[in-house]
Amino acid sequence: MRRSTLLVVTMTLLASACAAPGTFPSPFDDSVAACSVAGGPGLSDEDLAGPALDRDAFLTTDTGRAVAAFFDGGPGEPEDFVFGPADGFTDHGDLVFAYVDGRPSGWIEIHDSDVRAWGGCEPVRVSGDAVARRWRPATEPSPETTRLTILVDGGACVGKEEEPDVVTEVTAVEIVESDDTVTIATFVRQRSALGGCAGVGYEHEVAVDLERPLDGRRLLDGGLIPPAPPGG
């Protein structure tokens, strides 16, 4: 895993959390949601709130029968990681969201009653052309930690030079501190690369200054909806 070591981001510190509307609230008040895959579909508050139909009801619809025929014994069966596990669905006509336990878990693109594409969905926050990416602490923090070094998922491509061609940049880091938690959201923008390389295997190193020592407070990744413990 390659990583950058020069990036330090200045944060805006918020003293308290602001609840956003929806079943999966964000501590940030400007939350917009999308699937985590670059170019993945956006999610409305209604989509986040849960499926419109349970599995049995969805399978009685024309769209449900077309999706079932494609994945259940059809050409999509070998790569069915979206339809099979789902217990609920929301049908937008040309786009279907699948759910597991009330949380969006995948999407299926439909054209003329045919399945054209599908993918997984981990709801994340978006900000303009930047998408929240997972992060993890570089080292295990202590109760005395006031400067936290985190590693943010990014991407790089193999270039002509020895150094990799980094194709992502961290555009913003947001923090919400409370008595019990420190919630950090990191946003990454994809830059163009020769040959259309999407870029993988790179981590941006970011220094995060806290208002006061961590002191046993839980770390949460606020880019996820809902916030969850950081990866790694």
pLDDT at 65: 96
pLDDT digits (tens, 9 = 90+) for 29-48: 555 899 986 667 999 989 99
Q: Which of 103, 121, 139 is the last residue of a domain?
A: 121
> Residue 135 is part of which domain span?
2-28+127-221
pTM over 0.85: no
Q: For residue 3, what pLDDT band results from cuts at 50, 70 and 90?
A: very low
Residues 131 and 112 in one domain: no
Q: Are strands 181-190 and 168-177 parallel, antiparallel or unpaired?
A: antiparallel
Residue 66 belongs to a domain: yes
pLDDT at 27: 53
Residue 83 belongs to a domain: yes
Residues 152 and 69 in one domain: no
**Torsion of the alpha carbons at 48, 54, 63 and 37, rounded to the nearest 10:** 30
pLDDT at 25: 44
Q: Which of 121, 154, 170 is the last residue of a domain?
A: 121
pLDDT at 6: 34
pLDDT at 73: 94
pLDDT at 4: 41
Residue 201 belongs to a domain: yes
**Nearest CA-CA partner of 177 in 24, 32, 33, 27:** 27
Residues 101 and 71 in one domain: yes
Q: Which of 121, 145, 176 is the last residue of a domain?
A: 121
Number of domains in the chain: 2
pLDDT digits (tens, 9 = 90+) for 208-231: 999 999 999 999 999 999 899 998
pLDDT at 155: 82
Other CB atoms within 10 A of residue 15 CB:
8
